[in-house]
Amino acid sequence: MISNQSLGRPNTQYLKSNPITTVSQSLKVRPNFLSAWLRNPKQVGAVLPSSDGLTNTMAAQIKRGPGLTIELGAGTGAVTAALLSRGIKPDHLILVEKDRILAKELDHHFPALRVLEGDAARLQQLLRKSGLGLADNVVSSLPLLSMRTLTRIRVLSQVFAILQPDGKLVQFTYSPRPPVPERLAHSLGIAGKRIERVLWNLPPANVWVYERTHENMAVIRPKIDARHRGATGRPLA
């Protein structure tokens, strides 16, 4: 049995969120987040962790099923706690975090979860090393728009290489623009939809969901089915 403490703080404030609780919760929460930002502002991409309003909106988009959910850029675990509250089983949730200190903290706060310290641009390799297979969901807090174009392309290609054909990428952005520029989405064979604008976050954020386009699914499905039959949890080829 896993206690609430070992899973992180319970995340039941969604409906009660307002600007004052959002700000005070964020400020009191995580000095580690601020120090991570001081170490590498571009990589962290935010001074405060995401609010409950934002994390719950992201968690509400995931497809619930037997497959894996991969969280990219787990930071101090704000989205992680929402995913667990949403009912994702700890052995189906994998956290990826590049910052070594934050990755150690995540390990400490969420002992029941697997934390992979590493770069999302090498996601396939990270999962393969841990013997993990295709995922149903990728939930990302990565600052995609501040990445170099090549890195962004690498990350997104890796994400869609490890997602099941009907898997989803849930991504937030502070920008009014899509987190994946339209031309890039088109060339990757994916399409996105803005699901919600979350005002009770500093700064306000937009939640997007990306999936493969139907044409792209038709092309890749036979390839993936052949290589990864019943793939969830099995090693990638």
Binding site for ligand SAM (CB under 6 A): 36, 43-46, 49-50, 72-75, 78-79, 96-99, 102, 119-121, 141-143
Residue whose CB is less far from ligand SAM, 7 or 72: 72
Q: Coil, strand, or helix at residue 132?
A: coil
Least distance from C-beta 121 to ligand SAM, angstroms?
5
Tell me which H or E stretch contains 94. Answer: strand 93-97
Least distance from C-beta 135 to ligand SAM, angstroms?
15
Least distance from C-beta 64 to ligand SAM, angstroms?
20
Q: Coil, strand, or helix at residue 164?
A: strand
Instruction: Please enumerate in sequence order all residues whose Cβ is within 8 A of that of 77, keeping only pairs 6 or more positions apart, or say none.
Output: 8, 95, 105, 106, 109, 110
Residue whose CB is less far from ligand SAM, 205 or 231: 205
Residue whose CB is less far from ligand SAM, 196 or 217: 196
Residue whose CB is less far from ligand SAM, 43 or 216: 43
Least distance from C-beta 13 to ligand SAM, angstroms?
15
Least distance from C-beta 45 to ligand SAM, angstroms?
4
Q: Tell me how far apart the alpha carbons of residues 123 and 162 are, in angstroms, rounded to a whole number.
A: 8
- Return the structure tokens found at 208: 């997007």
- How far the first Cα of the chain sits from its last, in Å, is 34
Residue whose CB is less far from ligand SAM, 164 or 201: 201
Q: In what order do the strands lie in the sheet with 190-198?
A: 114-117, 93-97, 68-72, 135-140, 163-173, 205-212, 190-198
Residue with tokens 């990638």: 236
